[in-house]
Structure 1
């Protein structure tokens, strides 16, 4: 049986105002990544194939995990939300979010406008984003292998939406609840992917690491 383990990157620079500023791990993000790799080694969790996105936060997370060598595949890169927020402001006057609460309110209408083709000048179309993720999963996942992919929350939400056939409200809920350095596993049975585990953080579930249970 094939198994796919998706890992969201550790906490990034959450106070950033641009994609470039956001794209690096915070000190806590480095800790989260190291703890995850340590847990995997303790659990004797190994992989037949490893791949990460091309973003800095993906590379830094995988390097911190120290689980072996990996390929780079830009198809696992996150949606670029800052340009999308700017496009949303042009589209309907909705101001870009300034904090986590505002972001939670901002995401659902933005996803809807994106799906409806109303966000112009953004790097990805709705169909292009989800299509490249599906293509990457199909390309890297081989029969009877366990594959590790280090990526971002939107990519993980896309895979879950694909497997569970989710519409935007549920997809948005998944996206907003995905923790930093969390694991999400899928198993392929009779040619179909099935969600096996969501948002697992066994490496953070001790009292001294309660502060490390982050979403942003």
Structure 2
């Protein structure tokens, strides 16, 4: 039996020209996670991640806090969907720019609508695969990871979409439930799966053991 630790990347750069870049806070979140695991004596036998820049930066920050990690295997099936494609599928008009609270509120309102329509097969956002194909890519990467010999503890660094869809699939959640899982997932949060050659089982979801401490609540973020 393998234990898979799914980690959502640290805070990226919402509202910036390049979202795919960890903020200083995002780097700190991941370094603290690595430090937490080092204090626990946890070591990983294998590392898997998506190919996005924020995935590699998060993995490197975790490694810095932990004191090292094995060479990572990269799989595009662990990459995020394009949120802008979902937003534009739900809202055809011009969208506000920036990172104000109102801009974020509008973004996540349209993202929720787009996600639900995509998962249900009612929308076909430009440039995105079908949701079924997206989910197949996620689960194929996780299935490949759990089949590695002698890998008892596996780290997977990914994004909110792949992680929430994997959990929703394992739990057989309705589309509305998958959307809620997706939009509640916090930066650098840990989701744990116990995996056998036949199945995955969810042990925990969206936990922040490295930030659920006095004086660190301000380090918890969603976007």
Q: TM-score with structure 1 length normalisation?
A: 0.89
Match of 1:193 among 194, 200, 208: 200
Deviation at 1:86, TM superposition (A): 2.1
CA, structure 1 residues 169+95, in 2 after alignment: closer, same or farther (shift >3 Å)? farther
**Whole-Å separation in 2 of the counterparts to 1:120 and 1:29:** 29
> What is the Cα deviation at residue 82 of structure 1?
1.0
Residues in 1 aligned to 2:191 and 2:27: alpha-carbon distance in whole angstroms: 19
Deviating runs (4+, > 4 A) in structure 1?
Answer: 93-98
How far apart, CA to CA, are the structure 2 residues paired with 1:212 and 1:120? 33
Equivalenced residues, count: 211
1:62 deviates by 0.2
- 1:57 corresponds to which of 46, 49, 54: 54
Unaligned runs of 5+ in 2: none
Equivalent-residue separation in structure 1 for 2:49 and 2:8 (angstroms):
10
* Residue aligned with 1:196, SS: strand
How far 1:189 moved relative to its partner?
Answer: 5.0
* Aligned 8 A contact 2:86 2:115 in 1: no
Residue of structure 2 equivalent to 1:5: 5
Indicate the SS of the match to 2:170: helix
Determine the structure 2 residue equivalent to 1:111. Answer: 115
Q: Counterpart in 2 of 1:124? A: 129
Deviations 1:121-176 (A, max 9, x none): 22322111111001111111126622110000011101101110011211111111
1:175 to 173, 176, 182: 182
Q: Deviations over 1:50-72 (max 9, x none)?
A: 01110000000000011412121
Alignment partner, residue 76 of structure 1:
78
Post-superposition offset of 1:94: 9.1
Hey, what does 1:44 align to over in structure 2? Answer: 41
* Alpha-carbon separation, structure 1, partners of 2:94 and 2:173: 25
Q: Distance in 2 between matches of 1:34 and 1:89?
A: 37
| 1:136 equivalent in structure 2 | 141
CA distance in 2, matches of 1:176, 1:163: 18
**What is the rounded CA distance, in whole Å, between the counterparts of 1:75 and 1:99 in structure 2?**
29
1-structure distance, mates of 2:94, 2:193: 36
User: What SS does structure 2 have at the residue aligned with 1:10?
Assistant: coil
Unpaired runs of at least 5, structure 1: none
- Give the corresponding residue for 1:152: 159
1:89 aligns with 2:115: no
Return the alpha-carbon distance in structure 2 between the equivalents of residues 58 and 190 of structure 1: 26
